[in-house]
Amino acid sequence: MKIVIIGNGMVGYKFCEKLLAKQHQHPLELIVFGEEMRPAYDRVHLSEYFAGKTADELTLAPATWYAEKGIRLHLGDPVQTIDRAHKTVHCFSGITESYDYLIMATGSSAFVPPIPGVEKQGVFIYRTIEDLEMMAAYARHVKKGAVIGGGLLGLEAAKAMLDLGIADTQVIEFAPRLMPRQIDEAGSHTLRTKLEALGLHIRTNTNTTAILGDDHITGMQFADDSTIDVDMLVISAGIKPRDEVAKLCGLETGHRGGIVVNDHLQTNDPSIFAIGECALHKGMIYGLVAPGYEMADVVATNLTGGAKSFTGYDMSTKLKLIGVDVASFGEPFVSPKDGRSIVWEDTLKGVYKRINISNDGKQLLGGILVGDAEQYNMLLQTCKNKVILPPNPEDIILGERGGSGDAGAGVTSLPDEALICSCEGISKKMICDAVSEQGHETVDAIKKCTKAGTGCGGCVPMLKDLVTHTLKAQGKYVRNVLCEHFQYSRQELFDLVKIHDLKSYDAALDKLGNGDGCEVCKPAIASIIASLWNEMILQRGNATAQDSNDRFLANIQKGGTYSVVPRIPGGEITPEKLIVIGQVAQKYHLYTKITGGQRIDLFGAHVSDLPAIWEALIAAGFESGHAYGKALRTVKSCVGSTWCRFGLHDSVSFAIRIEERYRGLRAPHKLKSAVSGCIRECAEAQSKDFGIIATEKGWNLYVCGNGGSKPQHALLLATDLDSETCIRYIDRFLMFYIKTADPLTRTATWLNKMEGGISYLKNVVVHDSLGIAEQLEAEMQVLVDNYKCEWKEVVDNPELRKRFNHFVNAPEEKDPTVQFEPMRSQKRATEWK
């Protein structure tokens, strides 16, 4: 059987791969004609080219792969005519090739609106690696850029412009909102707000009428006669199917383009099939890679003796646009007569979630996620597999609020036929069988065996959960190793570092690891060392292993400046200290703001000024607030019984005692706490990692809550405690968390993944079921006794102070690239260009 494939894009390559995997009886002769000069590459992640990924890394398979599989590959040689009567194709180089079956995988091209001036230099489309190479070459001297198109492709192009260093970039969209086909007006507003905060300028309801300039673009004119200055323009306003060759040979095409196909992807010529973005199936062009892969599988199955039909495809999608998660699934727009909607919106964090449910409240019909799409995979599976919703459907977007949970339990409850990887058509059963029957026990092994997770990559978290649960069901021990350089889990490393008395990253790598380390293990090991010994984190050669903020004991901000947050225990501060903060802010020209944690943040500090700022604050009795570290941040408090007529106990004094005990405590993630003087909860203790609320008889202790994009109420651990017992329980809780949590895991997530949940945690902390309570308390006391203010360590150590000089040979000189601009009688750092 001789098969000719016209097109060597992602779908054409996937067809070859699937056909070879299914063909076992008859010999195949495969000939591929590609228009581009390079083999098929990953267009889904094309924008990563500007983030450092090379063309070779984007390539799906090298030319040698085709040769090894017996495929004749003709690159840079597009087919120009098809002779259906004689079943031959004639290409640009003059080659004529016969076929038994012909596969049209010609894909699509960029749609370029008929705007006067599109031919000018500096106007680009965003489609191929060659397009990106030309953009990169032209962008070197560009100051102002624009993108026509506010859909998926347009926003990807805008990211590319930012990656090229064109900070002044505008997005021009004809429709009244961004991504009008995927998200609703409220979701689009959230997306727009987040993108504008990142520096993009968005214009909707805008029709471009002319591209200005002589030979080169200098500006754009719109329908309202307004104009903007532009040095470079990228047009990414949609796609149009590549059906030119099909039309020439008389194949049926749609009036708006596309090669008409039936459910077997056959054209009106039974020997010719069309797959991917060039195929028009029941009036629909599918512009995503997953439907194209499914089409490839349908044709490969039918050509190798099987029977399969293409009946349409779910256009659910999840992607990250300039760092912002956006997803839509199922039916994102539902009319009131067809269903009801539940909407959750956090305008502070920029998160919007909408789910559409059936009128009886039992079925998930679809939804939209902006700003936080972590739940996308499970929501998509719940929708596609018609899983019955819980009594309170809002739980599926707000998360578990109380009780225990086992990470991954949701995916294991799905039916065997649930499609986990849409790109490759891999079901839950196929993945579980690959683990249990074929012995593929890692995500990488599953990827190689089934190809799941090798497309868009969105299903990888579910693959990990399925592998873990299948192994556990077999009674196997599942090791969650830190990275390729340390074949241990964080919990194991914590004990090993302690046993071997290791106090530097290099010592840990030499004793327990291999290679040179990476950006995963360096901060994780540095955190473990800090949690064990509580020594100065910048000494013993550990400085370069820290996260970027920890390296300078301050948070780096936009514009290249740093922020300084002194500790203000319990939010209590004297007038004298307030005056000092004001004097420091005036002297070093710092922007000041009161934080949500009852502290004062000083923004706009030059790195070279940090030691001097700290020295002035320390002289007034301040110390580091550890706002930069994975450590205790604040212990918030209400005024309690000292001033409030409802207060039961002195919450401020207890909050100060708590904060001064755990200050500087390093942990897998940041820690926040609060103390409320009564059940009115003015300090919001139940939204903290550990919170304390006064009762008539003492204190109630709550644990494992957090705010943020995925808020979760803290759970009650113990009631009516005296102050000493409360502190002992906190000691145990915090040390147990530090010793057992994975890197970068908040206490809420740690508890959700803990088998037995809050009941188990209560047994360990309160009832000492593991017999380690005394040990945990002793370990905490060591950390408390070893506490030193990190700022003071730098101020008193000339060698450490040198680390904060911007220029080694000119310590008094400041960074000349840092600029400021006025804002409401203060000033802010000018955005990076």
- 228, 248: one domain: no
- 32, 121: one domain: no
Contacting residues for 268 by C-beta, under 8 A, at least 6 apart: 251, 252, 260
pLDDT tens digits for 46-92? 878 877 788 898 999 999 999 999 999 999 999 999 999 999 999 99
Cα(115)–Cα(521) distance, integer angstroms: 52
Cα(374)–Cα(369) distance, integer angstroms: 9
- Evaluate whether residue 162 is within a structural domain: yes
Q: Which among 276, 282, 307 has a CA at the least distance from the CA of 294?
A: 276
- Residue 567 pLDDT grade (very low, low, confident, very high; cuts 50, 70, 90): very high
- Residue 404 pLDDT grade (very low, low, confident, very high; cuts 50, 70, 90): very low
- 183, 264: one domain: no
- 246, 101: one domain: yes
- Residue 709 pLDDT grade (very low, low, confident, very high; cuts 50, 70, 90): low
- 136, 212: one domain: yes
Cα(719)–Cα(271) distance, integer angstroms: 76
pLDDT of residue 403: 42
- Number of other residues whose CB lies within 10 A of the CB of residue 770: 13
- Evaluate whether residue 268 is within a structural domain: yes
| Range with the poorest average pLDDT among 27-41, 409-423, 459-473 | 409-423
pLDDT of residue 459: 80
Cα(231)–Cα(169) distance, integer angstroms: 10
Is pLDDT of 719 > 90?
A: yes
pLDDT of residue 407: 38
DSSP letters spanning 27-41: --EEEEE-SSSS--B
Contact 243, 260 (CB under 8 A): no
The three-state secondary structure class of 750 is: helix
- Evaluate whether residue 792 is within a structural domain: no
| Range with the poorest average pLDDT among 96-110, 510-524, 567-581, 819-833 | 819-833
- Evaluate whether residue 311 is within a structural domain: no
**Structural domain count, the chain:** 3
- 86, 140: one domain: no
Question: Phi first, then psi: what are they for 190, rounded to 5°?
Answer: -60, -45
- 101, 129: one domain: no
Cα(169)–Cα(232) distance, integer angstroms: 9
Question: Phi first, then psi: what are they for 209, rounded to 5°?
Answer: -110, -20
DSSP letters spanning 253-306: B-TTS-EEE-TT-B-SSTTEEE-GGGEEETTB---SHHHHHHHHHHHHHHHTT-
- 156, 224: one domain: yes
- Evaluate whether residue 432 is within a structural domain: yes
Please count the CA atoms within 13 angstroms of the CA of 419 that sit on its side-chain side.
15
Provide, rounded to the nearest whole percent, the portion of the chain with pLDDT above 70. 97
Q: Which among 781, 783, 735, 743 has a CA at the least distance from the CA of 761?
A: 735
- Evaluate whether residue 190 is within a structural domain: yes
The gap between the terminal CA atoms of the chain, to the nearest Å, is 58
Q: Is 283 exposed, middle or buried (0-12, 13-18, 19+ CB in 10 A)?
A: exposed
Burial 646-666 (b: 16+ CB within 10 A, else e): ebbbbbbbbbbbbbebbbbbb
Contact 814, 608 (CB under 8 A): yes
- Residue 406 pLDDT grade (very low, low, confident, very high; cuts 50, 70, 90): very low
CA 819 from centre of chain: 30
- 26, 63: one domain: yes
Contact 720, 699 (CB under 8 A): yes
Is pLDDT of 273 > 60?
A: yes
Contact 77, 95 (CB under 8 A): yes
Domain with 256, as residue range(s), is 2-108+241-303
Domain boundary among 186, 221, 237: 237
Amino acid identity of residue 792, one-letter, is K
Cα(665)–Cα(690) distance, integer angstroms: 14
Which tokens is 294 given? 């499914």
For the beta sheet containing 168-172, the strands, ordered from the edge strand earlier in sequence to the opposite edge, are 123-125, 232-235, 144-148, 168-172, 201-203
Residue 278: DSSP 8-state: G
Q: What is the CATH number of the domain that holds 133?
A: 3.50.50.60
Please count the CA atoms within 13 angstroms of the CA of 769 that sit on its side-chain side.
10
- 39, 67: one domain: yes
pLDDT tens digits for 285-334? 998 888 999 999 999 999 998 999 999 888 888 887 777 889 999 999 99
Pairing between β-strand 101-104 and β-strand 272-274 as defined by DSSP bridges: parallel
Q: What is the CATH number of the domain that holds 436?
A: 1.10.10.1100
The three-state secondary structure class of 772 is: coil
- 81, 190: one domain: no
Cα(754)–Cα(261) distance, integer angstroms: 51
- 88, 102: one domain: yes
Q: Which among 196, 205, 143 has a CA at the least distance from the CA of 173?
A: 205
Cα(543)–Cα(566) distance, integer angstroms: 21
- Residue 832 pLDDT grade (very low, low, confident, very high; cuts 50, 70, 90): low
Higher-confidence residue: 748 or 199? 748
- Evaluate whether residue 6 is within a structural domain: yes
Contact 631, 639 (CB under 8 A): no
pLDDT tens digits for 531-565? 999 988 888 878 878 877 888 899 988 788 999 99
Domain boundary among 285, 303, 321: 303
DSSP letters spanning 147-180: EE--SHHHHHHHHHHHHTT--EEEEE-SSSSSST
- Evaluate whether residue 338 is within a structural domain: no
Cα(410)–Cα(829) distance, integer angstroms: 45
Contact 498, 467 (CB under 8 A): no
pLDDT of residue 797: 93
Domain boundary among 184, 213, 237: 237
Pairing between β-strand 690-694 and β-strand 671-676 as defined by DSSP bridges: parallel
Query: Which residue(s) pair with 815 in the sheet?
Result: none
Contact 542, 526 (CB under 8 A): yes
